[in-house]
A and B are shown apart, each in its own frame.
Chain A
C-alpha cells in the first residue's frame, strides 16, 4: 500500500505484446494495476485476455514492450517467480486438484513445514478452515476433496489462498464465468473485499455487468489490441457494454437472425429486439 502513496503502480504494462509463431496474440497493450484498485480486463473470446494474464502470472514471457513490478522491469520465467513477487493468479479451470482435500489444495506449493520435511498438518487444517471462514465459507470438513465443492466455493478457496499467502496483486481469470447469479455475486463481494484489504486486483471477464460495479479502471481488448483504457469516472455502464458488445456486431447478428428466421415469428421478434438494442448502444456512445 506504500506503493499507492508514492504513486508507483504494483504492476505496469507498457506496450506489451506476444506472438505465437506468426500469430499475434497481443500487441501494444498498456495497463496499470495499483494497490487498492480493481482493474477490469474485458474482451470477447480470442481478444487476448488469457495471453495478457499468462504474461503477468509468469506462464509466458512477453516478446515486446515492458513489464514492471513495483517499478522494476521483469520478465518471468515461471509462475513461481511471479508468486515470489506477490502476484497470485486464480485460474478459471486449473485452480485446484479436484481429488485432493481442501486443506492440501489450500497449501499446495507453499506447504507449512516443521523439522525433517514434516508438514505441520494441524496448523494447515486450522488455517485453511479459518481463512475460508473469513471468506464466508463454513466448511465442517476441510478433508473433503475440493472437487466436491461448488464452482464458486472453489474460486473462493483459491482467492482465500492467494490472500493468505500475502499476494499483493490478485489476478482473477473469469472467476464468474461458469457461475449462477447468486454465486457470481459472492465472488464479486470477495473481489471488493480483496480491494479493501489493499490488494491490486486484475479481474478478467467478458461480462460488463460484473465488471462495472466493482471496477476502478477498465481495459477493453479486441483482437489482441487495446480498444479502450480508462478510469471508472470516464465511462458509464452503457458505454462499457457498447464497447464490449460492439453496436455494429449486434446489428449484424440481428440481420442474421432476420434472414434465417423469416417464417419464424419468435426469431423475427428477437432480431427486432437486437436491432433496437444496437441502436440504443449507438445513441449512448454518441452522448
Chain B
C-alpha cells in the first residue's frame, strides 16, 4: 500500500491477466455453456435450427426467464423464495376467479391479482425481516400454504380443480394481446413473453448496475452487516426483493390466464427449483452478493434449449431433468472457481 505509485503499481496490475478479468464476469460460465448446448442440439437435432422450433425454444425460455429475473435479484440479495412457483398459479387463479365469479372486466381481476400478489411478496419479506429465520424456511412454509390454498379455494369456489374458462369475458382479448399473444416477426410466430422477457432483463440489469437500489442489493447479499453499518436500508431492500419476485409471479400468472383461459390449480409446484437453477447456471452465487440478470437470462435460455432440444432430438423427455441437474452441478463448480479467483489475491 505504501508503494510508490509507479513501478510497483504496474507490477500489481500485471498480475490481473485479461483472462482472469473475463473469468470474473458472472455470465461467462453460462455463456460458454449456452454455446455448447446450442452447438450440441444443432448437431443432434435437425429441427432445432428451424425458425418455428427456435421460436418455441425462446418461448419456453421466456416463461421461465421472466421468473428467473426476480429470483436472480433476490438471490443476489442473498435469499431464496421457494414459494415463487406456486405463487404464479395463485396469481393466475386470483385474476381468473375474481373476474369470473364477480363477472367483472378481466382487467379488474388483473389489478386485484397484482395487489394481492405483491402483498404475498411483502408478507414473505416482512416475515423474513421480522423473525430473522432463514428465508428457506419461511418461503417453504408459504410454499405449502399457497399450494394448499390454490387447490382448496379453487375447489370451494368452482367445485373443480381448474378455474372456469374466461375466454369469452370482457377484457380477455385486450389482456391477451398484452400478456400472451403471438407476434409475427419475419414470418415467424413469436410469443409476446419473449419480448417481455427481454424488457424484464433490461430493467433488472439497469436497476442492478445503474441505480442506488442495485448497489444496495449487491451489498445486502454480500455483507448485510457492513451494509447496515454504512446506512443502507437493509430490511426495506430485502422486502423489496421479495416483492420483485411477486411482481414477476404476477406477470407469469397473467400469461397463464390469457394463454390458456383456464388455470389448473395444482400447477407450479416444483417450478421454483427451475427458477433457482436458471439463476445459478447464470452465475448467481447461492450465498448472495454476486450475479447478474443477464446471466439468469442465459441460464433460462439454456433451460429452454435443453427442454425443447430433447424433444426435437426425439429423445425420451425424461432425460431433461437429468441434464438439468448435471448442468446445475457443473455451473456451481464453475461459480465456486470464479469466486475463489475473485477473493484469492488478497
Contact = CB atoms under 8 A, between A and B. Distances in A.
Interface of A: 57, 59, 78-80, 83, 89, 91, 94-100, 104, 107-111, 113, 117-119, 121, 133, 136-138, 140-141, 144-145, 147-153, 156, 182-183, 185-186
Interface size class of B (residues with CB under 8 A): 20 to 34
Interface of B: 1-3, 5, 9, 13, 16, 24, 210-213, 215-216, 218-219, 222-223, 225-232, 289-290, 339, 342-343, 345-346
Nearest to B232: A109
Given A138-B5, A150-B346, A79 B210 contact: no
A80 B230 CA distance: 7
B28 to A, nearest CB: 15
Contact of A152 (B1, B216, B218, B343): B1
The 10 closest A-B pairs by CB, nearest first: A138-B5, A109-B230, A109-B231, A97-B222, A111-B212, A80-B231, A97-B223, A94-B226, A153-B1, A152-B1
A111 B231 CA distance: 11
B345 A148 contact: yes
Contacts of A141: 13, 16
Judged by DSSP, the binding face of B is helix
A108 B215 contact: yes
Given A80-B231, A99-B222, A113-B212, A144 B1 contact: no
A79 B342 contact: no
A117 B212 contact: yes
26 contacts: A79-B231, A89-B229, A94-B223, A94-B225, A98-B343, A99-B343, A100-B219, A104-B215, A104-B219, A109-B230, A109-B232, A111-B215, A113-B212, A117-B212, A119-B215, A121-B210, A133-B5, A136-B5, A138-B9, A140-B13, A148-B343, A149-B346, A150-B1, A150-B346, A152-B1, A186-B2
Nearest to B290: A99
A171 B16 CA distance: 34
Contact of B222 (A95, A100, A144, A156): A100
A97 B215 CA distance: 11
B232 A147 contact: no
Given A119-B212, A138-B5, A150-B1, A97 B289 contact: yes
B215 A183 contact: no
B108 to A, nearest CB: 31
A182 B226 CA distance: 26
B229 A91 contact: yes
Nearest to A135: B1
A147 B215 contact: no
Contacts of A109: 219, 227, 230-232
A63 to B, nearest CB: 21
Given A148-B342, A156-B1, A183-B1, 10 more contacts: A80-B231, A94-B229, A97-B223, A97-B226, A98-B222, A100-B215, A104-B219, A109-B227, A113-B212, A119-B215
B1 to A, nearest CB: 5
Among B211, B229, B289, B345, chain A packs the most CB atoms within 10 A around the CB of: B229
Among B1, B213, B218, B346, chain A packs the most CB atoms within 10 A around the CB of: B1
Given A138-B5, A148-B342, A96 B223 contact: yes
Contacts of A57: 229
B231 A107 contact: no
Nearest to A148: B345
Contacts of B228: 79
Given A97-B223, A182-B2, A144 B215 contact: no
A70 to B, nearest CB: 20
Contacts of B211: 117-119
A150 B215 CA distance: 23
Contacts of A149: 346
Contacts of A156: 1
A273 B280 CA distance: 58
B18 to A, nearest CB: 12
A186 B1 contact: yes
Contacts of B210: 118-119, 121
Contacts of B227: 97, 108-109
A111 B218 CA distance: 13
A140 B216 CA distance: 25
Contacts of B345: 148
Contacts of B339: 99
A176 to B, nearest CB: 13
